[in-house]
Amino acid sequence: MILSLFRKNTATAPVYAVYNSIVAQSRQPIFYAQWAVPDTVTGRFDMISLHMALLFRRLRNEGPQAKVFSQSVFDLFFKDMDRSLREMGVSDLGVPKKIQKMGNIFFGLLAAINEALDRNDEDALAGVISRNIYDGSDMPELRALTAYIISRDADLARQPAESITGGNLTFEVAA
């Protein structure tokens, strides 16, 4: 998927709409103000990655059209990360290394979330969140974010794949 950064732009209006929904949800103040997600570049990347993982989890068994759509959202995500790194002053030589590291982090998060949610293992999911969002800490806010992820996973499961690939991805505002 990382090499797909060099492919032709496959982002369509629905791809942009879904990616924008993910970014908007990831910027919800509750994550940073109440649930202690670090309000840093890394914390913001982690929240986007978390929501991307939930999207990919939702579409993973929906057939070839959903796979192409997921790939396009992934490509847009990493093109956006590439642009952001360059805006922050990362050198042309440094960007590919950082993008590769970000890709590895993302795929690790995706695999760990899938495994924990497939087993309905809330404790395993809390461990994934602790390692990836809270730097291994068992913060009091950890359970709230874990419950949020479980709830959003269930919400996404109820949204038709055709609606999502048509550009209509909705997240309930975190409470």
Give the model confidence (pLDDT) of 21-61 as tens digits.
Answer: 999 999 999 999 999 999 988 888 899 999 999 999 999 99
Residue 62 has pLDDT above 70, yes or no: yes
Higher pLDDT, 136 or 125: 125
The pLDDT value given to residue 5? 46
Helix 94-118 to helix 41-59 angle, to the nearest 10 degrees? 50
Contact 43, 37 (CB under 8 A): yes
Residue 92 has pLDDT above 70, yes or no: no
Residue 154 has pLDDT above 90, yes or no: yes
Helix (H, G, I), strand (E, B) or coil at 25: helix
CA torsion sign, 34 to 122 to 131 to 78?
Answer: negative
The pLDDT value given to residue 55? 97
Residue 14 CA to residue 34 CA, distance in Å, equals 31
Q: Classify residue 136 as left (phi > 0), alpha (psi -120 to 50) or beta.
A: left
Three-state SS letters, 86-114: HHCCCCCCHHHHHHHHHHHHHHHHHHHHH
Contact 1, 31 (CB under 8 A): no
Contact 164, 58 (CB under 8 A): yes
For the entire predicted model, the pTM comes to 0.85
The pLDDT value given to residue 3? 46
